[in-house]
Structures are given as structure tokens and as C-alpha cells.
Amino acid sequence: MAIIFDEERQVFSLHTKNTTYQMMADRYGYLLHLYYGKRVDDPMEYMLTYFDRGFSGNPYDAGRDRTYSLDVLPQEFPVLGVGDYRSAAFKVREENGCYGCDLRYKGHRVLNEKYRLPGLPAVYGEQIQTLEILLEDERLGLEVTLLYGVIEECDILTRSVKIQNVSGERVYLEKVSSACLDFLYGRYDFLTFYGRHAMERNRQRMPVAHGKQSVGSTRGCSGHQYNPFVILAHSDATESAGECYGVSFVYSGSFTAEVEADQFNQIRLIMGISEEQFSYPLERGETFYAPEAALSYSAEGLGELSHHFHRCIREHICRGKYKDQVRPVLVNSWEACYFDFDGDAIVRLAKQAAQLGIELVVMDDGWFGRREDDNSSLGDWDVNEGKLGCSLQELSKRIHETGLQFGIWIEPEMVSEDSELYRRHPEWAMQIPGKPPVRGRNQLVLDFANPEVVGYIYEKIRDVLIQGNVEYVKWDMNRSLADVFSGRADWQGKVLYDYMLGVYSLLERLTAEFPDVLWEGCSGGGGRFDMGMLFYTPQIWCSDNTDAIDRVRIQYGTSFGYPLSAMGSHVSAVPNHQTGRVTDMRTRGVVAMTGAFGYELDLGKLDEEEKRQVREQVAMYHKVAPLLLHGRYYRLSDPFTDALGAWMVVDEEKKHALCSVVCLENHANMPVAYVRLQGLSRNGKYRDQETGKVYSGAALMSCGIPVLTEFGEYRSWQILLEKM
């Protein structure tokens, strides 16, 4: 049984394979958090202590007992207004401006299926139990149901919240977090993944300090700047040892992840939608659902924590045909020719690709409206037949005749002012009446909080996908939201949330209608890289930066929370278009191959030697793709501090492994670097497929292999091991 309720003590225990999560409804009906960590069977309420603390108030029900204070006790869903002065997970404003919500335990239910969140992405699967805990504020007529899902095999718990105004006056939800974790003690570091366009998900590790530290987004999308995946790691935790907790938000809009050490060195971690521009009116009879957060604990370091999330995402978030299937090797027209192409050029690219073993050609931005650069035509999803020199049906037919699959780029959420759609429906663009809007990439955002707009875009895109008979779609989103306003809404404080519901509804309709299509998410590369998007698109273009050396770091940061199968990764031309750096074809291949692999360059410009290398890479990719898709991923170095980037993937049986090493820095007369492998069987004997050398798993893991960087920059190695 994954969920156990101890009636006498009123203690709830959620057990996964290796972990336990506990909470208790106490004598006043407050839901206190008791424990999250390595699996235990004892009730942990003995950990709670009571002591009269100055300036920490006491609930009225506690009478003269000054030792009971919610300012000190660990809580499951802390509310503003009950005398807890730490970060609240929930803030409710009444019509008169008060914040006096007080939630008490009313009851619970255990279900033998995973709860559902209407309109929102969520972890799914068979054999997932749900615990619903009902809390109530009688005065406000408000019911708050905390939802917990237990994914035992993956050591993952999910949390969400359902809020119902059952019988009260209108209230405004001013903050609704999805998860809160309180720790009674411990020295922890907060690991976050910050970045910028074309340099996403750098890892930062900072000790948790007194006061609040937070990362988040107020952009209406998760953003390049901070990822909605964070880790709280014990200060001595490493890749392979120590305790750590991960929280990943299954949501693609504005968010906040905050951590706080309080006056008694207790720590609180909260994840949820951003409070900024959020004020959700809830009338009597209405219900609000918070997005889901996925939580995991590892007693064996950050590597193991990543494995939990990788598995959960691959098995319980990604859907559709490509969930478990090797993705076709693609070539994308963007860095090959940008806006400068016609139908013949795309067919030419397909023919060249066919000769190299590439399986899919993607026509990126520029095929619709009058789009010759990024200043016009978004919203006009009509094929530019003049530019292509033929209809989309014809182009698709010609591409399919080369033996390749055909893919296309779209950016459904946007509109250019220079477009037919904007001229017809300026009110469909988000702008605040009377205020000139903020432009981003010279485009505006469509009001996806308005179902009529979503419905119109659905029809247009659907038409294109049918005409093009496409096997792949890249769904882009190239600016952050500003001027949040919907002509449809009677209250603007809910628009950011409703916008995301609009995006998800379009994704749901299109992915359901075209289940055989491979969907790739994108937002100027990895600006919306989160579990929410992965529910609809099993891969996301990891970054607009295709430089192999930068990519080692970007993919390293991404790997903490997301599997390799989720990272779109391409070989591009040199000098690299983002950095000007020159790396050899081999190194570019080694780096791109540890993701959903493809090319992004003019194949016509390759010389014979490069073509030979591409053929070799495609063959190698086909050989290792199942391993990359299903295997366990290990980070073997820290490319932000080490001269080498090194990582490996091992299959579940520990029979096959691929270890990749890239030299990030070179100096004269370099010391030898030793790369220690992980995840192998200690007693097993492994043969290096290229050199034929045989090593024991124990030697490879305890001593490692020497990597001698001789003359030349950015060299790389791929070591394919097979157990004998």
C-alpha cells in the first residue's frame, strides 16, 4: 500500500519504493508536515517540539497554551493570516481586503487512480494512488483539497491543489502554490538553473541563507532565465552521495520557487505559480486548480535524483507515438538558409539529406504569409505558394519522394502587426487599451485567454498540417508576455493563468488529432523547457545556441531535471553562428548525439570528408539511440569548472554503455585527466568496442580511464562499452 492512514494518530504516510512522506492532522485540525526522506515506517510526530517563543503567536483554539505556534511548526500548506510569518503557500483576499483564511482538516479520501487536473498537464499512469486531503475554512465557505499522487516505482510524488468556493462570497486567490516542503533542521544548498537566451540552464549552487531566496518568471512562460526545476541538496551531497530533494513544476507559465531559512534555522521550500499579476476571483460555485508539482528525494546524490525525474518524464509525462520510440534524424532549414529559401531549396536539402542517411527535413520559419524576415506575417498561417513555387501538398509530395519525412515550423501564439490577422482583429492581440504595447522580436502575443482566438488558430494550423501531410512540427514561442490583457476577461488578474490553459488546450487538440506527428517544443531554443510542455511535446529544442562547447554546459544543466530524450540537439556549421567558435565535425557530433539528434546546416556546403563523417555519425546514432532513449544518464564531470565535459549512459541491464568526453580547454603540456565511470556492474568485464581493450567495471569506476589531451582544440572521445 502506497498510502497509509494511521487513524489513531491521524498520520498520513505516502510510501514510494525508497521514500516516505508524512503529515498529520493535529488536535486543532492543522495539517502539519512530519517527514520526507528515506523510507521509514514509524510515525514521526515525535519530532515536533513545543516551546513558548516570543513573537510567535498562538491560535485562539490553543487557549493559554503559548507553546503552540504555527510560526514554528512545519506545515503542509501554510496560509497567510494564521500567524505563520514565513513564506505562505496560499493567500486569499476577501472583498474587503482582509487576509484571514484559516484552513482546518475535514476529511480525506484515498483513490486507486491518479487525480486529474482539468486542462492542465499532469503525471499520468496506471497504479498511481491518490490521496485527497480536504481542508476547510468555514467562515469563507472555502474548501481546499490537497492532492497527492504516489508514483512508487519512480520515487516520485506529485502535488496539486483544488480550491472550491462552496458557499461564500467572492474571494481573490492571490497566491496558490502547488507544493511546500518544511524541514525542521539541516544545512542545505539551493540548486537553480539560470541563464539567458542562447545560454540556458547554468547550474548555481548556493547555501540556503536566512531570509528568502527565490527564482522564477513573470514572463507568462517559464523562461530562459530560470528553470522551474530546483533542488535542495544537503550541503555535503554530491553526484553520487548525499541527500537531496528535487521539485519540478508541471507548468509552462510564470512561476516562483522560493526557499527560506527561518529564525530557528528551519527551512521551507515552495513551488507554484507566480504571485505577480495573479489575482484569481473565485465566485460561489467556482473551482480553481493549481498546476502540479513533482517531488522526489534521493539518498544517493544528485545523479540518482535525476534518474527519478528522467524516468518519470519518459514514462509518465511524455505521450504519443514517440514516447518510447527512437526519433528520426532530422535536418532543419533554419541555420541552413534562415528565411532565404524556396520549395526547390527544401527539396534539394532533402535529397542531400537522403544520401547521408538523414530521415526528416524540417522547413523552419518563413513559409507562410509574406514572411521574408521576422517582422511580419505571424498569424497568417496560409502557405506562401509564391515563395515556395508550389503548394504545400506538392512540396510535401516531392519531399516524400526523396524518401524523407517532412516537418514544419509554427508559432501559433503570436501575431505580427504587419499581418492580415492583426489588421482584421487587432483586439486579438494582448495590449492594454490606450497604452502602446511592448514589442518583442517585433511581434505581439495573441490573447489565448480567449477561446475564440484559440479556436481560430486551431482551424488554421490544422489545415496546414493536413495539407503538408507532415510527420513533425516544431512549436515555437519567441517572446515574453507583457501588457497582459484580455478583451474577454472581466478581471485581468486571471489572464496569465487562462493564457496557459489556452495554450494547453490548443496543444491537446492538435497533438490528439495528429498522434503520429513528432512534436518538438521551442521558445527561442529552451525558453519554455519544463514538464508542462513535455506532456505535449516529447522533445524541446534545447537552445538556439548550437555551439558544441556551450552545448556541453547547456545539456549538462538541463540533465539535472530532464532526460536526454527531451533535448533537441543538432550539429551546425562552423564558425558557429552564435559564438564564432570552430570545433571539428566529430566533436559537434559527439555533443549533438547525446540528445534528440539532427543537423542544422547547409548540407550542400559539406566536402566529401565531412559527408563521410555525417554518414558515420548517423550510423553511430542509430546504433546507440535506444541506449540514449532508455538508459541511465550519469554526469561524470562539471563542465563549468572542469577542463573536460564527460558524461555517460548505461542501459538498465548494465550491458551497454556509451561514455562521451569533450575537451573544453587546452593548454600546453596538459596534465592527464582521469574520467571515472559510473553505473556499471563492478564484477562485469567490459570491452571497448573500438580498441578491443577489456576493463572490469570496478576498475572503470574506481580508477577511471586516462584522457590525454594532445595538440588541438576541443577534441572529443566516444567510448562504447559492451559487457562480455
The footprint of ligand GLA (CB under 6 A) covers: 334, 364-365, 374, 409, 476, 478, 522, 524-525, 541, 544
Provide the greatest CA pair distance for the chain: 86
* Helix H or strand E segment including 420: helix 420-424
Are the C-beta atoms of 658 and 648 separated by less than 8 Å? Answer: yes
Q: Which is nearer to ligand GLA, 286 or 374 (CB)?
A: 374
Give, as one character, the DSSP assignment of residue 701. H
- Of 497, 484, 666, 461, which is closest to residue 583 (Cα–Cα)? 666
478 or 486: CB nearest ligand GLA:
478
Nearest distance, CB of residue 404 and ligand GLA, angstroms: 19
The one-character DSSP state at 482 is -
Helices (H), 19-145: none
Dump the DSSP string for 558-570.
HHTTS-GGGEEEE
Between 212 and 577, CB nearer to ligand GLA = 577
How far, in Å, are 12, 360, 623 from residue 356 at the CA level? 58, 11, 16
Encode burial over 622-639: b for 16+ CB neighbours within 10 A, e otherwise.
eebbebbbbbbbbbbbeb
Indicate if 344 belongs to the active site: no
The per-residue DSSP string of 442-453 comes to TBEEB-TTSHHH
Residue 522 or residue 554: which is nearer to ligand GLA going by CB?
522
In the complex, what is the shortest distance from the CB of residue 394 to ligand GLA, in angstroms, rounded to a whole number?
Answer: 23
Q: How far is the CB of 254 from ligand GLA (least distance, A)?
A: 20
Which CB sits closer to ligand GLA, 541 or 560? 541
Cα separation, 145 vs 31, in Å, equals 12
Closest distance to ligand GLA from the beta carbon of 197 (Å)? 8
* Residue of 342, 471, 530, 600 with catalytic role: 530
CA distance readout (Å), 637 to 203, 222, 489, 661, 676: 13, 27, 50, 9, 9
In the complex, the smallest distance separating the C-beta of residue 286 from ligand GLA, rounded to whole angstroms, is 38
In the complex, the smallest distance separating the C-beta of residue 50 from ligand GLA, rounded to whole angstroms, is 55
Nearer to ligand GLA, 137 or 365 (CB): 365
Contacts of 97 (CB under 8 A, 6+ apart): none
Cα angle vertex 375, ends 371, 378, to 5°? 60
Nearest approach in angstroms of CB 88 to ligand GLA is 37
Q: Which is nearer to ligand GLA, 254 or 377 (CB)?
A: 377
Catalytic annotation present for 8: no
560: Cβ contacts below 8 Å, ≥ 6 apart: 191, 193, 203, 229, 231, 246, 302, 305, 306
Residues 6+ apart with CB under 8 A from 353: 331, 359, 361, 402, 404, 599, 603
Report the number of secondary-structure helices (H) and strands (E) in the chain. 13, 38
Catalytic hit among 610, 616, 651, 713 = 610
CA distance 48 to 496: 39
- Residue closer to ligand GLA by CB (options 291, 524) is 524
Q: Which residue is nearest to ligand GLA, using beta carbons? A: 365
Size of the chain, expressed as the number of residues it contains = 724
Grid coordinates belonging to 235: 550541503
Q: How far is the CB of 14 from ligand GLA (least distance, A)?
A: 39
Output the smallest distance, CB 604 to ligand GLA, in A: 20
Contact present, 90 and 144 (Cβ < 8 Å): yes
Pick between residue 562 and residue 633 the one whose CB is nearest to ligand GLA: 562
Per the rule left: phi > 0, alpha: psi between -120 and 50, beta: everything else, 524 is left
Q: What is the DSSP letter of 507?
A: H
Catalytic residues: 530, 610
